[in-house]
Structure 1
């Protein structure tokens, strides 16, 4: 059984009442992947905005493997120390990683964030020498439209992440950089300029799915109109 672990921040954990892109990815793999698979991770909840804590199980559709390693307000800085044990305990085969916005917004500059991404990859490989990883660049968000220094850091980090993926990629444990979701419009694909709505969930899932299909022949083309 192929075991996928979604890793990310608030856009990946999602909040109460949402489907999440994790659900969209599960739907896609159910339709396109020919073998047994599941989603794994040490966490299962959504973020509860009222409680300001990751305590909700109120998925729009709870009927899927809800496991993940994602947290509201967490980034590469936070996940790098956790990923080794998560990969080991959950026996993950493929990591689908969407991180960086939080790091750049609150904790580290582009160079430091890229260094933490390298630490993350090394820790994942220490736990599973054959781990496969798909890394998503920081995608459009509202802060980058009004904060020019932040936007410059996002651009630089995405360039450094591409270099990181190229440097660390190896046949036994490939590191794949996904293309940013295209198109992705913060006015129509998010509900607040940052967090994906249903359309945005599909676009993020599609970015991961297309990368795995085109580079690894895993799954298939993403059906953009699926529910």
Structure 2
């Protein structure tokens, strides 16, 4: 179900998904834009209750797949809201050739949400190109996989040791080691992250980690110190 995170921004945690034997939680963000319409980031599996809760907030106008790892449930939301614009990161079309994609995400936000939400695409990584967003009214940076934080008990057996080595387990969100190692073009990534660090971030949401309500700018500086 939806939970209020800040004014005009909500979070909904969905069902878990499994990748290579690792179980990951899913999370979506709903933002009410200044025009009253809704912007849905990384939609989770749709349920009747979730759809009713979203509809109670306003008209769904934008569906966003922020990287090529977070797209699994986009098709069902696109089918449910055919008038909504579907915006997806590079690589999503290859993984979901039947998904209607209206806009490929770049470094310029769509005009109708640009007054509310800024965006930067972190390029130069061999795993994924991720669009990171900043909701101006709540000073919230929204990350998908470039920041992660799992509880030490989330994984078991050898997967716990892999997760710990990968920096997925920690006292605050970190950039996983695999993303650091697979950042092949550090100059491109550094340019993108520099723009992110310029945001006056107070809050941080990531798909896999505890939401952060304060101290966001300092957290991001620590998280990306390895790159900058």
The normalised TM-score by structure 1 is 0.35
Identify, as 1 or 2, the structure richer in helix: 1
Identify, as 1 or 2, the structure richer in strand: 2
